[in-house]
């Protein structure tokens, strides 16, 4: 799926940017990643508030395989096929994906400082 096709799919949602990453592409709105395309399948950003919509449509989260086995990226779920032919409905789902990305951005980041602190004297 090329960048022009992706932009056309999201036309009713609004402008998106498309960036190559890993083996696919990321789809961004307002500087936030709202979707990804891998192996010609489109996955929208999801969280606890939106996963039920994907489950009702019998969709699945993004999966990928490395030399260490299969991994699941539960924050991206396969877009229902029917949305490829319904730009207005896709715009609603993309809006939900953008809201999800905003919620994720607003969450405080966990500290990953691995340096050990000296005990207080």
The DSSP annotation for 13-26 comes to T---EEEEETTEEE
Per-residue pLDDT at 68: 87
pLDDT at residue number 96: 97
Predicted TM-score (pTM) of this structure: 0.84
Which residues have CB under 8 Å from 3's CB, separation 6+?
A: 18, 25
Collapsed DSSP state (helix, strand, coil) of residue 40:
coil
- How does DSSP classify residue 120? P
Q: What is the CATH number of the domain that holds 54?
A: 3.30.1460.30
Is 121 a member of any domain? no
Residue 111 falls within a domain, yes or no? Answer: no
Give a yes or no: residue 19 inside a domain.
yes
61-96: per-residue pLDDT in tens?
A: 999 888 888 888 889 999 999 999 999 999 999 999
**34 within some domain:** yes
pLDDT tens sequence across 30-66: 999 999 999 999 999 999 999 999 999 999 999 988 8
Rounded Cα gap, residues 75 and 48, in angstroms? 9
Domain count, the chain: 1
Determine, yes or no, domain membership for 96: yes
């Amino acid at each position: 799926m090329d960048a022009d096709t992706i932009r056309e799919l999201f036309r009713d949602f609004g402008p998106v940017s498309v960036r190559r990453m890993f083996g696919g592409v990321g789809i961004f709105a307002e500087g936030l990643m709202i979707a990804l395309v891998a192996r010609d399948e489109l996955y929208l950003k999801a969280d606890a508030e939106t996963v039920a919509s994907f489950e009702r449509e019998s969709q699945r989260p993004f999966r990928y395989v490395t030399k260490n086995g299969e991994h699941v990226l539960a924050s991206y779920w396969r877009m229902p096929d029917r949305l490829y032919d319904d730009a207005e409905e896709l715009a609603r789902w993309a809006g939900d994906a953008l809201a999800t990305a905003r919620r994720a951005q607003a969450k405080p980041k966990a500290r990953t400082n691995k340096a050990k602190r000296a005990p207080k004297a």
